[in-house]
Homo-oligomer: A and B are copies of this chain.
Amino acid sequence: MNLSERKLRILQAIISDFIRTAEPVGSRTISKKHDLGISPATIRNEMSDLEELGYLTHPHTSAGRVPSEQAYRLYVDELMKKKELSQEEKIEISGKLYENVRELEKTMQHAAKVLSEITNLTSFALTPNQDEDVLKYVNLLPVDEHTLVLMIVSQSGKVSNTPLKTKIPYKNEALELLSKSMTYNYKGKSISNVLTLDIIETIETDMQTMNLLTNNVMPNFMKTLEEMLDVNLYMDGLTNIFSIPEYNDLDRAKNFLEILNNKEDFTNTLINRENGVIITIGNENVEDLMRDCSVITATYHVDGKLAGKLGVIGPTRMKYGEVTSVIEFLTDNISNAYKISEGGEDD
């Protein structure tokens, strides 16, 4: 079913008005503000058709029209103009983004902050899934005779360390031996793979060192690897929803915060979304609680590989064009910054 040019223009007018004001839009308003050269009565006839086609709804007889989710979908797919950011805006955003960058984790945390500040919505950032990340280096470092640090470095540059205490003083040679053996055994293997291996037996060593390995090092090595696989979720702009009329209702506000409160579920929802720029509107979201929200996510890349996600969640009435542009700009920027020479030039 193709809509006539005129119907499309009217629909667009209604959607953009509604996105701005959050109030049902009447025929007279349209005729006055957007000079389409037709009278309110004609617009009413068209509106009536659009309603029949499922693009508009009617909170009650004497109210104006409100776009349906189907209308937003059409809008996002065809009518919406992505707002081209001006040079100044780009500079401003980049400036904010790189105020404070060193590690990817921090960058993403910061990106969420910037995104929520610009869009006035609630934003989130997901750090990369490290399933494919490969171990590069295991090192045990002496601190004092009862304390050592277990350090793990991965291909992607992630470093993780854990201080360990031993009851019995250890020998420095033991640490060196273990570091070498572990690196030899694990180097080049993916983290998730290593978690399934059991190589203790392949290390030849004396009783005491073996004791250190099985009692102190291995348990913590495993725990640390598991943590390295964890994806982190950062959120920002939670309280922004209070300035959105849709959430002037306590139940809705509560419901909204509930979604974000359950970090684990929300993370999974995000992980399961497709890559690239994805917009889901209202009932297109599979999670019950999210069925009156819209979600926009985009994927960023680290070293050219698929990595994490960045996005916003808010009411279905949302400035799709603007918000999408900002998210895309941010993810492009991040992907750029974390190209092969990750971390940029420090010298």
Interface size class of A (residues with CB under 8 A): 35 or more
Pick the interface stretch among A53-61, A76-84, A339-347: A339-347
Q: How far is it, in angstroms, between the C-alpha of A21 and the C-alpha of B260 when the chains are bound?
A: 29
Which of B102, B163, B168, B253 is close to A347, meaning CB atoms less than 8 Å apart?
B168
Interface flag for A36 (CB, 8 Å): no
Interface flag for A176 (CB, 8 Å): no
Interface flag for A29 (CB, 8 Å): no
Chain B residue nearest in CB terms to A167 = B347
Q: How far is it, in angstroms, between the C-alpha of A327 and the C-alpha of B153 when the chains are bound?
A: 38
B345→A167 contact, CB < 8 A: yes
Shortest C-beta distance, A212 to chain B (Å), equals 8
Residues of B within 8 A of A139 (CB): 141
B157→A159 contact, CB < 8 A: no
Interface flag for A143 (CB, 8 Å): yes
Interface flag for A137 (CB, 8 Å): yes
Interface flag for A8 (CB, 8 Å): no
B346→A165 contact, CB < 8 A: yes
Interface flag for A166 (CB, 8 Å): yes
Q: Which of A165-181 contact B (CB under 8 A)?
A: 165-168
Interface flag for A271 (CB, 8 Å): no
Shortest C-beta distance, A225 to chain B (Å), equals 13
A161→B166 contact, CB < 8 A: no
Interface flag for A258 (CB, 8 Å): yes
Residues of B within 8 A of A166 (CB): 346-347
Shortest C-beta distance, A133 to chain B (Å), equals 13
Q: How far is it, in angstroms, between the C-alpha of A215 and the C-alpha of B151 when the chains are bound?
A: 25
Interface flag for A149 (CB, 8 Å): yes
Residues of B within 8 A of A341 (CB): 165
Q: How far is it, in angstroms, between the C-alpha of A223 and the C-alpha of B254 when the chains are bound?
A: 39
Given A141-B151, A239-B257, A347-B216, also A161-B163 (CB < 8 A): no
Contact string, A198-237, partner B, CB cutoff 8 A, digits 1/0?
0000000000000100011001100100000000000000
A161→B164 contact, CB < 8 A: no
Residues of B within 8 A of A149 (CB): 151, 153, 159
Contact string, A235-266, partner B, CB cutoff 8 A, digits 1/0?
00011001000001010011001100100000
Q: How far is it, in angstroms, between the C-alpha of A258 and the C-alpha of B219 when the chains are bound?
A: 42
B346→A220 contact, CB < 8 A: yes
Which of B162, B258, B346 is close to A102, meaning CB atoms less than 8 Å apart?
B162
Chain B residue nearest in CB terms to A347 = B215
Interface flag for A136 (CB, 8 Å): yes
Q: Please name 5 pairs of A and B residues whose Cβ atoms are closer than 8 Å in the assembled complex, sorted by A.
A: A147-B157, A164-B343, A165-B341, A165-B343, A165-B346
Residues of B within 8 A of A144 (CB): 136
Shortest C-beta distance, A336 to chain B (Å), equals 16
Which of B161, B250, B346 is close to A250, meaning CB atoms less than 8 Å apart?
B250
Residues of B within 8 A of A158 (CB): 163
Q: Which of A307-347 contact B (CB under 8 A)?
A: 341-347
Q: How far is it, in angstroms, between the C-alpha of A165 and the C-alpha of B340 when the chains are bound?
A: 12
Given A242-B257, A261-B239, also A345-B165 (CB < 8 A): yes
Contact string, A255-285, partner B, CB cutoff 8 A, digits 1/0?
0011001000000000000000000000000
